[in-house]
Structure 1
Amino acid sequence: MCLPPLYTTPSFFLVFYTLLLLGASSSRAEVLPKRFARSYIHLEGDVRWRRLYSAMHYFLTIDPSGKVRGTRSYCTNSIFQVYSINVGVVAIHSAGSGLYLAMDRRGNVYGEEDYGPNCRFRERIEENGYNSYSSERWSHQRHPMYVAMRRNGWVKMGRRTRHTHRSAHFLPFPI
């Protein structure tokens, strides 16, 4: 009786291929280092004292009445505490007026007495070194609504802004 050679049978190749895969996967796991999980817990709860200087050459202020506008002079209403809520999410509190910067669903920017979901903003560092602040809660036609300032110092409606507009760019000056 004549048997075919061992290396031509399909079962031999299947067993050899399986052993090759098992050996490669176990040796590969030993060679690659384990990837560590990134933790940004140290960034939460950070408080920074800043004045937000717009690219339109105004400092952002919140009046005690809750009106948000720009000023070129130094006043205590333009000093902000920027609280880090989460990674990339901040709350902006005016030290002079005691109000939080907030944005409603229509894109109106105003001062709020109590901290709430309208007071949360995503802080983004742009390519030109400026920061932009968009509402975490609200968007307009799937576009984020940004805090922005006109050339005359009045605040723009959030639904008419994009992160590429210079009016939405702020430099956070440390105090």
Structure 2
Amino acid sequence: PRGFEVILKRSILEITAVEVGIVAIKGLFSGRYLAMNKRGRLYASYYNAECEFVERLHELGYNTYASRLYRTRLWYVSINGKGRPRRGFKTRRTQKSSLFLPRMGIVDGKARVQWGCFGGRG
């Protein structure tokens, strides 16, 4: 049971609006933000410009997150079938691995968001 709790806590993300349509995604357990560097790699960081993503809501309830800083490159947050991040230049907004379904959950008495990836196992 304890291992399961740790996995759940590490999968909980806090999505905060920076501006209209722009979000920052923070890992609740680590306290760090999801970021994408100039090579399209996802990494954890303290808040900076690479931590901002354009959030798009799709008709079927899925969300996509594209790098705001590298918006001309159209790089999306994407996770492969094994749960590993994909490089930004290998992603498209229509790929299943780039579609996320936010799920609300209660942790420590507070409402939190967990992601379910359409293309992955999460």
- Correspondence for 2:87 among 140, 144, 157: 157
Distance 2:38 2:66 in 1: 12
Distance in 1 of aligned mates of 2:14 and 2:68: 18
Partners of 2:34 and 2:73 lie apart in 1 by 20
Question: Using the alignment, how far apart are the partners of 2:40 and 2:31 within structure 1?
Answer: 21
Cα distance in 2 for partners of 1:119, 1:147 equals 11
Distance 1:143 1:93 in 2: 23
Match of 2:27 in 1: 94
Does 2:62 align with 1:111? Answer: no
Choose the corresponding residue for 1:172, options 95, 98, 102: 102
Asked if 1:122 corresponds to 2:57, the answer is no
Q: Which residue of 1 aligns with 2:112?
A: none
Structure 1 position 127, deviation (Å): 2.7
Q: Larger strand proportion, structure 1 or 2?
A: 2
Q: CA deviation at 1:143?
A: 3.5
Superposition CA RMSD, Å: 1.4
Q: Give the number of the structure whose alpha-carbon radius of gyration is greater.
A: 1
State the shift of 1:106 in Å. 0.7
TM-score, L = length of structure 1:
0.54
Paired residue total: 100
Among residues 68, 73, 98, which one is paired with 1:143 in the alignment? 73
More helix by share: 1
Per-residue Cα deviation, 1:2-58 (whole angstroms, up to 9, x for no partner): xxxxxxxxxxxxxxxxxxxxxxxxxxxxxxxxxxxxxxxxxxxxxxxxxxxxxxxxx
Q: Which runs of 4+ in 1 moved over 4 A?
A: none
> What is the distance in 1 between the residues matched to 2:49 and 2:31?
17
For structure 2, the residue ranges without an aligned partner over 5 or more in a row are 1-5, 106-122
Secondary structure of 2:74's match? strand
TM-score between both structures, scaled by the size of structure 2: 0.77
